[in-house]
Structure 1
Amino acid sequence: MNLFKKSSIVTIVVSLFILSLLAGCGGGGAPADDAKSAEPVNWTANSVWPPENHQSAGLQEFANKVKEATNGQVEITVQTGGALGFKGPELLKVVRDGLVPVSDILTSGVAGDEPVFGVVTLPFLIQNFEEGKILNEIARPYFDKVAEEKWNQKILYISPWPAAGIWSKEKIESVEDMRGLKTRTYDKNGALVMEAVGGTPYPLPFSEVYSSLATGVIDSVLTSTPTAVDAKFWEVLKYYAPINVTMATDLVTVNLDEFNKLDEETREALIAAGKEMEEEMWAKVAELDKQKEAECNENGIETVQPSQEFLNELSSITKDIREEWLKQAPPEAKEIVSEFLKQVGRQ
Structure 2
Amino acid sequence: MKKITTALVFGSLLSTSAIADKWHMPTPYGDGNLPTQIAYGFAEEIKDKTGGELDITVHSAGSLVKHTEIPRAVKTGQVQIGEVFLGILGNEHPVFKHDNIPFLATSFEQAKALWEAAKPSVEKQLDKSGLQLLYTVAWPAQSLYTKMPVSQLSDLEGSKMRAYSPSTSRLADLMGTTPTTIQVPDIPQAFSTGIIQAMITSPSTGVDSQAWDYVNYYTDVKAWIPKNIIVVNKRAFRRLDKATQTAILDAAKHAEALGWEKVAERAANDKQKLIDNGMNVTDPSETLVKELQAIGTTMVAEWKAEDPQEVGAILERYQP
TM-score by length of 1: 0.83
Aligned-partner residue type, residue 171 of structure 2: V
- Pick aligned residue for 2:176 from 180, 198, 219: 198
Whether the aligned pair in 2 keeps the contact of 1:162 and 1:285 (CA below 8 Å) is yes
Residue 75 (structure 2) pairs with residue 96 (structure 1): yes
Give the aligned partner of residue 142 of structure 1.
121
Aligned to 1:23: none
Q: 1:58 is aligned with what amino acid?
A: I
Q: Distance between the aligned counterparts of 2:268 and 2:162, measured in 1?
A: 23
Which residue of the other structure, out of 128, 142, 145, is the alignment partner of 2:107?
A: 128
Q: Does structure 1 retain, via aligned residues, the 8 Å contact 2:26–2:70?
A: no
Q: Structure 2 CA distance, aligned partners of 1:192 and 1:330? A: 19
Say whether the 8 Å CA contact 2:101–2:296 is kept in structure 1: no
Alignment of 1:12-51 (within 5 A): 41-51=21-31
Q: Indicate whether 1:75 and 2:55 are aligned.
A: yes
Deviations 1:2-40 (A, max 9, x none): xxxxxxxxxxxxxxxxxxxxxxxxxxxxxxxxxxx9x66
Structure 1 stretch 102-111 or stretch 185-194: which is displaced more?
Answer: 185-194
- Does structure 1 residue 323 correspond to structure 2 residue 277? no
Identical-residue share of aligned pairs (%):
28
- Alpha-carbon separation, structure 2, partners of 1:330 and 1:45: 35
Q: Are the structure 2 counterparts of residues 145 and 212 from structure 1 closer, same or farther at C-alpha, using a change threshold of 3 Å?
A: same
Aligned to 1:61: 41
The 8 Å contact of residues 144 and 155 in structure 1, kept in 2 or not, is answered as yes
Deviations 1:133-172 (A, max 9, x none): 1111222222222212x11121110110111111110011
Rounded Cα–Cα distance in structure 2 between residues aligned with 1:332 and 1:200: 30
CA distance in 1, matches of 2:296, 2:158: 17
1:209 aligns with 2:187: yes
Which SS does the other structure have where 2:68 is aligned? coil
Which range is displaced more, 172-181 or 215-224? 172-181
Structure 1 CA distance for aligned equivalents of residues 215 and 187 of structure 2: 12
Counterpart residue identity of residue 34, structure 2: H
How far apart in 1 are the matches of 2:185 and 2:149? 25
TM-score normalised by the chain length of structure 2: 0.90
Paired residues of 1:92 and 1:151 also in contact (CA < 8 A): no
Of residues 337, 343, 346, the one that matches 2:315 is 337
Using the TM superposition, give the Cα deviation of residue 333 of structure 1 relative to its aligned residue in structure 2, in angstroms: 2.4
The amino acid across from 1:117 in the alignment is F
What secondary structure sits across from 2:204 in the alignment? Answer: helix
Q: Which amino acid aligns with 2:31?
A: P
Task: Name the CA distance, whole Å, in 1 between partners of 2:118 and 2:44.
Answer: 27
Per-residue deviation, 1:57? 0.9
- Answer yes or no: is the 8 Å Cα contact 1:41–1:73 preserved in 2: yes
Match of 1:186 among 150, 156, 164: 164
Give, in angstroms, the shift of residue 309 of structure 1: 4.0
Q: Which runs of 5+ in 1 are unaligned?
A: 1-36
Q: 1:298 aligns with which of 272, 276, 280?
A: 276
Contact in 2 for aligned 1:46/1:104 (Cα 8 Å): yes
The equivalent residue for 1:7 is none
Instruction: Please say if residues 43 and 56 of structure 2, whose CA atoms lie closer than 8 Å, have aligned partners that are also in contact.
Output: yes
Q: 1:110 to 1:89 in 2, by over 3 A?
A: farther
Cα deviation 1:165-186 (Å, max 9, x = unaligned) = 1111001122222322211022
Whichever residue aligns with residue 293 of structure 2, its letter is: S
The change in CA–CA distance for 1:141 and 1:317 in structure 2 (over 3 A counts) is: closer
Specify the code of the residue in structure 1 equivalent to 2:196.
I
Gaps of 5+ in 2: 1-16
Q: Which deviates the most, 62-71 or 229-238?
A: 62-71
Change in 2 beyond 3 A, CA 1:113/1:52: same
8 Å CA contact retained: 1:173, 1:306: yes
8 Å CA contact retained: 1:241, 1:303:
yes
User: Equivalent residue for 2:144?
Assistant: 166
- C-alpha separation in 2, matches of 1:153 and 1:193: 28
Q: Is the 8 A contact 1:196 1:318 kept in 2?
A: no
Is the alpha carbon distance of 1:103 and 1:40 closer, same or farther for their aligned partners in structure 2, counting shifts above 3 Å? Answer: closer
Amino acid at match of 1:105: V
Give the alignment's Cα RMSD to 1 decimal.
1.8
Is the CA contact (8 Å cut-off) linking 1:104 and 1:250 kept in structure 2? yes
